[in-house]
Amino acid sequence: MNILVVGAGGREHTFCWKLAQSPLCDQLFAAPGNAGTTTVATNLPVSVTDFQGIKAAVLKHDIKMVVVGPEDPLVMGIHDFFKADSALQQVAVIGPEKEAAQLEGSKEYAKAFMMRHQIPTAKYQAFTAETVVQGEAFLETMEAPYVLKADGLAAGKGVLILQDLQEAKRELRKMLLEQKFGAASSKVVIEEFLDGIELSCFVLSDGKGSITLPMAKDYKRIGEGDTGLNTGGMGAVSPVPFVDAEFQKKIDETIVQPTVAGLKKDGLRFKGFIFIGLIKVGDIPKVIEYNVRMGDPETEVVLPRIKTDFVEILNAIATERLDRIQLEVDHRSATTVVAVSGGYPESYQKGFAISGLETTEEAILFHAGTIHKDGMVTTSGGRVLAVTAMGDNHQEALERSYQKLNKIHFEGINYRKDIGFDL
């Protein structure tokens, strides 16, 4: 079977790396891919939201499965686009249809879903420009810190956590009345602050049943000790040591099962990955957010732990046969550390040559923001590489990730030295 991976980050390189290991995968393509995906796939110069371009590539290369990495094409309806086109109806799309993608595309939609299906989450209310005064009054009834969330997609930047009530009111006005996050903040969810430690839970769903993948934890802040600005993710570990059997059971019973049952009750046949952002408040897991895709850099630690053939898994999602999959998991720890461009997540320069990319025993190199230029691999984004390693525990795995990172150079390279510090 010929397969196309849509996307260009570390997550998509990891998908390609895993798919290429399967005897069921014939030709593999990435659109647009990066320098890393070219080692196992053919890159196609098509953007992730160019549905006509993707269609042309699918027909030209006889592609039978499309694995969608990022949220934008899903929220824009790539799955529906394939379903509605008679030339594409036979192609399996891994990723939900537009309606279910609203779980990530609209915070209010996700909150209403959780309320409807009694899934534990922070208390909230949603406001628009017309109800900004009620929004301010609602803030007065809350305690600091105040959590304001742009309803729509805002590239991970749409959440504000503020200590001061007056500032929260000002920011609410900026979001609703001055389009602080563009159309994404024409509606704002104000919610209760949840205090605890975060983790990421990934669920495979075929529309009928589900399989929960190994848990992961990512490190979102740029600075050591989880300080400074939010990023796309600076590192990740899997498994998560504080998730014992009892806590896992709580996650399954109070969150995963009601989520999968809720989708079915609502008539949403979700075929893809459900990413549940969780927070452990005391001993209680609560949902911070849903995403309708895999996480990045979590994919870089979750997929290397999956021993089961990945094409078989995705085929089972497409054909509603997940119940036949026996997921085999590597019980070792996986860690990844992300090397970023100097200055990221604020402005940074691109185009620097990267050295030290040779394959080694100790680690797997997943590319994120890299391209080929003048016969060299150069930086082309904020997050440049994710260096994944395995070990008997996360300390051992991390040592290997850092050993490999020490050999990698590009101008301005930066990475956190403390991934896993809190475990």
Which residues are at the interface with ligand AMP (CB under 6 A)?
122, 147, 149, 159, 191, 193-194, 198, 277, 288-289
CA distances from 176 to 126, 130, 189, 407 (A): 11, 9, 11, 47
Please compute Rg for the chain using Cα positions.
21
> For 233, phi and psi rounded to 5 degrees?
140, 125
**Residue 295: contacted member of ligand GLY, ligand AMP, none (CB under 5 to 8 Å, by partner type):** ligand GLY
Determine if 309 is a binding residue for ligand GLY (CB under 6 A).
Answer: no
**Residue 218: contacted member of ligand GLY, ligand AMP, none (CB under 5 to 8 Å, by partner type):** ligand GLY
Binding test (CB under 6 A) with ligand GLY, winner from 32, 36, 70, 233:
233
Part in contact with ligand GLY (CB under 6 A); list of ranges 35-43, 79-87, 289-297, 347-355 = 289-297
How far apart are CB 220 and ligand AMP at their closest, in Å? 6
**Residue 421: contacted member of ligand AMP, ligand GLY, none (CB under 5 to 8 Å, by partner type):** none
Q: For ligand AMP, give the closer residue by CB, 132 or 159.
A: 159
How far apart are CB 278 and ligand AMP at their closest, in Å? 10
Neighbours of 107 (CB within 10 A): 27
CA distances from 313 to 211, 272, 307, 324 (A): 10, 10, 11, 9
**Residue 289: contacted member of ligand GLY, ligand AMP, none (CB under 5 to 8 Å, by partner type):** ligand AMP
How far apart are CB 260 and ligand AMP at their closest, in Å? 20
- Nearest 5°: CA angle at 89, between 86 and 90? 125
Kindly write out the interface string for residues 206-225 of this chain, putting x where it contacts ligand GLY by CB under 6 A and - elsewhere.
------------x-------
> For 417, phi and psi rounded to 5 degrees?
-90, 0
Strands 284-291 vs 124-128: parallel, antiparallel or unpaired? unpaired
Separation CA 356–CA 172 (nearest Å): 47
Neighbours of 220 (CB within 10 A): 16
**Residue 291: contacted member of ligand GLY, ligand AMP, none (CB under 5 to 8 Å, by partner type):** ligand GLY
Q: For ligand AMP, give the closer residue by CB, 86 or 163.
A: 163
Return the residue matching tokens 């799955």: 79
How far apart are CB 176 and ligand AMP at their closest, in Å? 18
Return the residue matching tokens 């299906």: 117
Contact present, 58 and 26 (Cβ < 8 Å):
no
Residues forming the site for ligand GLY (CB under 6 A) = 218, 233, 291, 295-296, 298
